[in-house]
Amino acid sequence: MTSAPEPFKINLNQNLWGLIVAFSALGTAEYFKLGTLFWFAVVVSVIMVLSIAATTLAYTIKYWRNRHG
């Protein structure tokens, strides 16, 4: 007998979930030609990308400081 497989889990931080939602909104806005949603999603996407870049930079700096000193 085989046991049931574990449920599929997606482990992402809040910034990545926000980016996924923003990109989905961009796709929806393009498909249905919704101008207001498009610009809102563009703004949210830019904010999420900047947030991800800032946190990645901070974690990289912390990693290098712990590794080299």
pLDDT in tens, 9-62: 878 899 999 999 999 999 999 999 999 999 999 999 999 999 999 999 999 999
pLDDT bucket at 7, cuts 50 / 70 / 90: confident
CA 39 to chain centre: 18
* Residue 7 contacts residue 33 (beta carbons within 8 Å): no
pTM score: 0.80
Backbone angles phi, psi at 10, to 5 degrees: -110, 120
